[in-house]
């Protein structure tokens, strides 16, 4: 907490900035075996979930992140049927995946059931697809699950992870990416949230290098707004196993049989555009 007890404040030590939200009350506080989960009722964002002091999701703007983690990768794959989500305990990304009628099965693996319990209570709209017969929720180590996954058993892997701190560190390594590459069928795709291009360029470079070291032959980064995260500008990085992430099923995206609040084909196309500073940084990190 910062300013006074009527504000929640998260400080970003990387670029020495802070983000605050005015709160009415703390409505949930639980220490699980894995992390500290808090939920605040705020003046302007609705509910706000915070894990270990870091903002995770709010009622007002969560659709931006969840739609961009799910729909670009699913419309890039030619026929996504088998999907795995690593992390994603608030279930918002799962909800977006389940909007795609061609998906036959989506398994979500999050180590901490406490996150999902809090989401069911305070963000029930994010959990609307939890009972879909095509959805499976597992509460176990997603890293180990991926290591044990059958070779070429998945079409899409969505890594809806926390920051690369503590247990989440392993999710940003070539070792983990190699397990993902092994589990994907030819033409498969991985997408991972890859932090802010303004504050965390070193993490973006690390993700992209790690993908290539793991065998992904094409890598692209998408950009989108994320108001409650550091700098308000976020990214997701895709890796293709014989599939170019710049080529997506644009006609299908334009004619999608479900409603979205942010994502559409034009947003998808625009999110692939690279700012000059990003292009220059990637050229230095990934020499041809």
Q: What's the pLDDT tens digit per position in 94-104?
A: 999 999 999 99
What predicted TM-score, i.e. pTM, was given to this entire model?
0.95
Q: Which of 90, 112, 160, 163 is catalytic?
A: 160
Q: What is the pLDDT of residue 108?
A: 98
| 208 and 109 in a common domain | yes
**pLDDT tops 50 at residue 286:** yes
Range of the domain at 195: 62-285
| 113 and 186 in a common domain | yes
| 221 and 152 in a common domain | yes
Two structure tokens written together for 56: 């995770």
| 34 and 77 in a common domain | no
* pLDDT average, residue stretch 254-273: 98
| 172 and 47 in a common domain | no
Phi, psi of 139 (to 5 degrees): -115, 90
The CA-based dihedral angle spanning residues 127, 133, 72, 163, taken in that order and rounded to the nearest 10 degrees: 50
Average pLDDT across the chain, whole number: 93
| 223 and 183 in a common domain | yes
pLDDT digits (tens, 9 = 90+) for 20-31: 999 999 999 999
Residue 160 a catalytic site member: yes
**pLDDT tops 70 at residue 19:** yes
Q: How many structural domains is the chain composed of?
A: 2
- CATH (domain of 36): 2.30.140.10
Evaluate whether 97 touches 106 at the Cβ level (below 8 Å).
Answer: yes
| 167 and 52 in a common domain | no
| 198 and 169 in a common domain | yes
Phi, psi of 105 (to 5 degrees): -155, 135
Phi, psi of 164 (to 5 degrees): -75, 65
Cα separations (Å) of 114 from 28, 137, 164, 259? 11, 13, 20, 29
Evaluate whether 248 touches 223 at the Cβ level (below 8 Å).
Answer: no
| 119 and 49 in a common domain | no
Asked, for residue 2, whether it belongs to a domain, the answer is no
**pLDDT tops 70 at residue 88:** yes
Tell me, letter by letter, the H, E, C secondary structure of 216-263: CCEEEEEEEECCCCHHHEEEEEEEECCCCCCCCCHHHHHCCCCCCCCC
Query: Residue 121 in 3-state DSSP?
Result: helix
């Amino acid at each position: 907490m910062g300013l006074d007890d009527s504000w929640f404040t998260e400080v970003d030590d990387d670029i020495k900035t802070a983000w605050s939200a005015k709160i009415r009350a703390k409505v949930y506080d639980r220490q699980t075996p894995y992390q500290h989960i808090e939920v605040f009722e705020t003046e302007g964002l609705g509910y706000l979930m915070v894990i270990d002091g870091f903002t995770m999701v709010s009622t007002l703007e969560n659709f931006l992140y969840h739609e961009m983690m799910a729909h670009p990768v699913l419309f890039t794959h030619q026929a996504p049927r088998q999907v795995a989500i690593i992390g994603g305990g608030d279930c918002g990304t799962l909800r977006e995946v389940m909007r795609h009628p061609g998906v036959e099965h989506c398994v979500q693996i999050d180590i901490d059931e406490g996150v999902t319990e809090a989401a069911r209570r305070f963000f029930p709209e994010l959990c609307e697809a939890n009972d879909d017969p095509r959805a499976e929720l597992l509460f176990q180590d997603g890293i180990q699950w991926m290591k044990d996954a059958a070779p070429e058993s998945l079409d899409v892997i969505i890594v809806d992870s926390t920051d690369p701190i503590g247990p989440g560190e392993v999710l940003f390594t070539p070792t983990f990416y190699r397990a993902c590459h092994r589990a994907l069928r030819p033409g498969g795709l991985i997408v991972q949230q890859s932090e802010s291009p303004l504050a965390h360029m070193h993490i973006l470079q690390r993700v992209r290098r790690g993908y290539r070291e793991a065998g992904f032959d094409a890598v692209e980064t998408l950009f989108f707004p994320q108001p409650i995260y550091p700098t308000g500008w976020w990214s997701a990085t895709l890796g293709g196993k014989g599939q170019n992430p710049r080529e997506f099923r644009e006609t299908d995206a334009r004619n999608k049989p479900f409603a979205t609040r942010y994502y559409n084909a034009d947003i998808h196309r625009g999110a692939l555009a690279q700012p000059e500073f990003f292009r220059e940084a990637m050229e230095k990190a990934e020499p041809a």
